[in-house]
């Protein structure tokens, strides 16, 4: 197999040849068809999040085909197309697991973080955490659903089913999917981008956003809720300022720069500030069912696997519209 490997935070990924991995009991091996690049991969590569092991192969939006079954695996078969998301393993017995909040498990493993991910030709995953992908379509188009889509979905649920006017801060892969889902649900979307990012703003409008402007600008009306996808703490007070009394601000990323001091009156009147962490398999099943019934237009830029560093650089520089996807 070939893989793009991170040896130390801040370094470029290195292409390596490795022996094909063998699935242990309860695991499967996949031949990777496509793996999207998420902002969390940038945080992994930069060491913004603690890394439990190195070297590591990043990548947690994997579409692959089962090509080897470990002992005792049932429910998946050879040749089946599956998705592998960020959540790779949970303990199953901590308090959060028992309460159905496996996204908050005390001792989880994450794909492309605590175990090798999909920036590779092959990957091994726990069968119980593979998501059957019956959706039709090109693997490149499906890959971004596995994190941008799933985390976007969980963040949207967190924003509240009654949030009919919704602000999105940071218009990348997740926001471009959430916009389409929210529009399908009859919500109005207000897209906030970097100042003067006319391209992202027109992209947002083309997907049905009611309004698009700079994060510094107030929206034309108070919003019911806002989701912050950009890893920029300074957006928190801006988003709180944009939501109505009782409104909610959801932080959708795994890492964010420090939140600046802000006056209490921005939180006053029962505004809420919450974060979304990881996902549960129930979120995934729910979202993939939903995605099968909505014509999502997934904007992607495909890169050969060996160009993973270029894809990361383009994401970092904000040069992408939609999601970068690596193809082995």
Query: Which residue ranges make up the site for Zn ion (CB under 5 A)?
Result: 38, 40, 90-91, 94, 97, 105, 147
- Rank residues 91 and 164 by Cβ distance to Zn ion and give the closer one: 91
Residue 155: CB minimum distance to Zn ion, A: 12
Instruction: Indicate the helix (H) or strand (E) that contains 206.
Output: helix 198-206
- Rank residues 91 and 267 by Cβ distance to Zn ion and give the closer one: 91
Tokens 């944009």: give the residue: 242
Residue 283: CB minimum distance to Zn ion, A: 13
Residue 188: CB minimum distance to Zn ion, A: 26
Residue 217: CB minimum distance to Zn ion, A: 28
Phi, then psi, of 259 in degrees rounded to 5: -85, 125
- Rank residues 47 and 208 by Cβ distance to Zn ion and give the closer one: 47
- Rank residues 90 and 201 by Cβ distance to Zn ion and give the closer one: 90
Q: Is the CB of residue 64 less than 8 Å from the CB of residue 30? A: yes
Residue 237: CB minimum distance to Zn ion, A: 25
* Paired sense of beta strands 27-36 and 323-327, if any: antiparallel
DSSP 8-class letter at 324: E
Residue 253: CB minimum distance to Zn ion, A: 9
- Rank residues 33 and 323 by Cβ distance to Zn ion and give the closer one: 323
Residue 89: CB minimum distance to Zn ion, A: 9
203-241 burial: b if 16+ Cβ within 10 Å, else e: bbeebebbbbbebeeebeeebbbbbbbbbbeebbbbbbb
Tokens 């014509």: give the residue: 295
In DSSP notation, 271-313 reads: -EEEE--S--HHHHHHHHHHHTTS-----EEEEEGGGHHHHHH
- Rank residues 208 and 318 by Cβ distance to Zn ion and give the closer one: 318
The gap from C-alpha 218 to its chain's centroid, in whole angstroms, comes to 27
- Rank residues 66 and 105 by Cβ distance to Zn ion and give the closer one: 105
Residue 198: CB minimum distance to Zn ion, A: 27
> What is the side-by-side strand order in the sheet with 223-228?
211-214, 188-193, 165-169, 223-228, 243-251, 272-275
Of 276, 292, 63, 298, the closest CA to residue 177 belongs to 298
- Rank residues 38 and 178 by Cβ distance to Zn ion and give the closer one: 38
Continuous H helices in 55-138: 95-98
């Amino acid at each position: 197999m070939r893989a793009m490997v991170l040896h130390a935070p801040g370094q470029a990924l290195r292409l390596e040849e490795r022996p094909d991995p063998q699935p242990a009991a309860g695991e499967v091996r996949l031949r990777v068809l496509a793996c999207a690049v998420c902002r969390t991969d940038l945080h992994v590569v930069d060491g913004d999040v603690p890394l439990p092991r190195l070297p590591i192969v990043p990548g947690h939006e994997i579409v692959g085909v089962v090509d080897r079954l470990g002992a005792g695996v049932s429910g998946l078969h050879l040749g089946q197309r599956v998705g592998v998301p960020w959540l790779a393993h949970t303990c199953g017995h901590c308090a959060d697991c028992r309460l159905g909040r496996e996204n908050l498990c005390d001792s989880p493993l994450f794909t492309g973080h605590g175990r090798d991910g999909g920036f590779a030709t092959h990957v091994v995953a726990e069968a119980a955490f593979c998501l059957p992908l019956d959706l039709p379509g090109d693997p490149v188009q499906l890959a971004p659903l596995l994190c941008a889509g799933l985390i976007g979905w969980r963040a949207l649920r967190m924003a509240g089913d009654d949030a009919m006017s919704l602000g999105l801060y940071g218009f990348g892969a997740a926001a471009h999917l959430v916009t389409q889902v929210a529009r399908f649900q009859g919500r109005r979307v207000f897209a906030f981008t970097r100042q003067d990012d006319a391209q992202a703003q027109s992209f947002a409008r083309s997907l049905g956003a009611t309004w698009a402007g700079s994060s510094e600008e107030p929206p034309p009306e108070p919003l019911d809720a806002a989701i912050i996808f950009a890893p920029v703490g300074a957006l928190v007070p801006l988003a709180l300022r944009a939501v109505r009394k009782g409104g909610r601000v959801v932080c959708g990323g795994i890492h964010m720069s420090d939140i600046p001091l802000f006056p209490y009156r921005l939180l006053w009147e029962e505004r809420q500030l919450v974060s979304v962490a990881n996902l549960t398999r129930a979120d995934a099943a729910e979202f993939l069912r939903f995605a099968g019934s909505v014509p999502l237009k997934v904007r992607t830029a495909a890169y050969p696997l060996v160009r993973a560093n270029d894809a990361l650089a383009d994401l970092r520089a904000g040069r992408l519209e939609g999601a970068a996807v690596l193809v082995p």
